[in-house]
Chain A
Amino acid sequence: MADSALFNAVCDALVGATSFDRLEARGTIRLALKASGLDTATVTNTQMRVVIDRVLPDELTARGIVDVQAVSRRLDAVVTSTASEAIASDSPEAIFQRLGGEPRI
């Protein structure tokens, strides 16, 4: 499955905000998403924002980034300006939520 536009936008912003090259930036965001149980193709804006605020700071600190808060703010701004995508109705989570719901006749 192809990476989402949101993932690509955040990676590009991370390259601009740090000394990371494209590969490092993508790897860092990918690891943060994986640690959060998310993937690069289906991550939504809300999920990405939580990852940036709560998971990414540790990843950035571990990679020698000093001003983590400033980087997070820039990435948050990119998430806000990127078109929001709803959680896919055919994701396993959405399907299993539906399977336990009341059937309407």
Chain B
Amino acid sequence: MQILTLLSFLMMFVASLIVSSRLLLLARATRGLPEFALGLSLFALTGIGYPSMIAGERMSSVPMIVVGMVALNAGMLLLALFVQRVFRPTDLWAKGLLGCLALSALVQVIVSTRSTMALIGSEELGVPLQAHLEFRMLTVLIGIVYLWAAIESLSYRRALLRRIALGLGDPIVANRLALWGIMALVSGSAALFNTIATWQNPDAMQSTSALLVNTLGGSADAVLLLLAFVPPKAYLEWVGAPAQTEEA
């Protein structure tokens, strides 16, 4: 099971790198903030954050853990920025939430860096990261931001489906919103599941149920991410087919 979990993690890692580099190239051409924020967020979270944290924990490397913490906080904040700018650009509450998350990320980085640096030479360095309050708080925040992304995407898709029924929307865009929304829902739920599972027992991540959740979640996320942002032509033709048939 551990090999399957590792494989699903690698799938997610590769998918995130492909999608983030594509979005960052797109941002270079369009100068659009949403594509820049989402591309960098995926890169920070899955390209740097989680791998650094896992490697840092295994190798008891404080610098890697610190780099991971900073990347995860930055990724969480960029993801929240993407959601706010795309779905709630003028809502005061969303701007306030983004401000709170920025403050929280800053505090997280300062506190976690100081507490991790204090572990140098200590036996506590071998303790799983999930046992540390700062890491738990961070995964809760990541989970909440992903769930916010899921709620906004899936709600907007519902409105878009009503437009499509009147011939006023693009089914491919509706499908992309669904894929991204489900991917965010899976990621957010997995982050919260892991936090709850390890709250009492920091070693719970090695249990069969936790490995199963993370294996299935990681694999599903990788496929959803690729279909949403690097869709094969055949997939786009299949998704767009009903609209084309109606037009004909």
Interface residues of A (CB under 8 A from B): 1, 35-38, 46-47, 50-51, 54-55, 90, 92-93, 95-101, 103-105
Contacts and interface: CB of A to CB of B under 8 A. Distances in A.
Interface of B: 22-23, 25-26, 28-30, 32, 34-35, 38, 85-87, 89-90, 156, 158-163, 166-170, 172-173, 176-177, 180, 228-229, 231
Contacts of B163: 36-38, 47
| Chain A interface, >50% SS class | helix
B206 to A, nearest CB: 37
28 contacts: A1-B90, A37-B159, A37-B160, A37-B162, A37-B169, A38-B159, A47-B168, A50-B167, A54-B166, A92-B86, A92-B87, A92-B156, A93-B156, A93-B169, A95-B34, A95-B35, A96-B177, A97-B173, A98-B26, A98-B30, A98-B35, A99-B35, A100-B231, A101-B26, A103-B25, A103-B28, A103-B29, A105-B25
A29 B231 CA distance: 38
Contacts, number: 78
A93 B175 CA distance: 11
Given A36-B163, A93-B160, A99 B23 contact: yes
A92 B157 CA distance: 10
B167 A95 contact: no
A58 to B, nearest CB: 13
